[in-house]
Amino acid sequence: MNFNVKIFADGADKAAMLELYAKPWVSGFTTNPTLMRKAGITDYESFARGVLSAIPDRPISLEVFADEFPEMERQARMIASWGDNVYVKIPVTNTRREPALDLICRLSHSGVKLNVTALLTLAQVRDVSQALGGGAPSCVSVFAGRIADTGVDPVPMMAAAVEMVRMYPNMELIWASPRELLNLVQADRIGCHIITVTGDILKKLDLLGRDLDDYSLDTVRMFYTDACKSGFTL
């Protein structure tokens, strides 16, 4: 693969994370409480410390799970203490739509590496970037896939976000929640720094550059083979 955008694997299956750790093109890892719940994780700290022990030299984003800002801050500082490669994920707001900007600014300027998550608007990118500017290394995660789910083309918005973040040397923009392999190409094309990629999409990487006539034939063969296996008759 010849991409400038960095690929971060998104998931919470430790075995899968370690398998991807062996891939030199995987530059980092992200997870969140929803992925951890799907993976059946019940002991947050044990899981996190186990992953950090096994993967000590690539960025790993671990998210707080509180809704009150003082508790978010306590959790963030604890999580950050678990490793130099930790980026603490802070949601852009709490569940009451209260912006986390003051907390983000305070943590970042006290040296905590952050990954501010769940952004979906350019106004959020602007405000979060200003809060993080001049602080510790940080990431801004824009959920481009969720933007696309609403029927809006995320590419122009992500391109604008790249320009917003460009003026802050301590910051990287993440194309989060991709829906298809094309998003990797799109993120690279607009100069996005990072894209988070799930295992399902990573499995499609071998299709990059595939001859479309050959791919068409494989599709026809798939339909025929499955019809034969089903024993269909008319």
The mean pLDDT value for 174-202 works out to 96
pLDDT above 70: percentage of residues in the chain:
100
Arithmetic mean of pLDDT over the chain: 97
String of DSSP letters for 125-190: HHHHHHHHTTSSSEEEEEEHHHHHHTT--HHHHHHHHHHHHHT-TTEEEEEES--STHHHHHHHHH
> Does the active-site annotation cover 38?
no
Query: What is the tally of structural domains in the chain?
Result: 1
The mean pLDDT value for 103-115 works out to 98
228 inside domain = no
214 inside domain = no
HSE-CB for 21 with a 13 A CA cutoff: 18
pTM of the model: 0.95
Close Cβ partners of 34 (under 8 Å, ≥ 6 residues apart): none
The mean pLDDT value for 182-194 works out to 98
85: CATH: 3.20.20.70
223 inside domain = no
pLDDT above 90: percentage of residues in the chain:
97
- How far lies 43's CA from each of 40, 49, 218, in Å? 9, 10, 44
217 inside domain = no
Task: Say which of 23, 38, 89, 204 is annotated catalytic.
Answer: 89
User: With bands split at pLDDT 50, 70 and 90, how would you rate the model's confidence at 1?
Assistant: low
183 inside domain = yes
15 inside domain = yes
Please say whether the beta carbons of 201 and 178 come within 8 A: yes
Please say whether the beta carbons of 175 and 158 come within 8 A: yes
Structural domain span for residue 174:
6-207
212 inside domain = no
The mean pLDDT value for 53-57 works out to 97
pLDDT, tens digit, 9 for 90 and up, residues 201-231: 999 999 999 999 999 999 999 999 999 999 9
The mean pLDDT value for 102-110 works out to 98
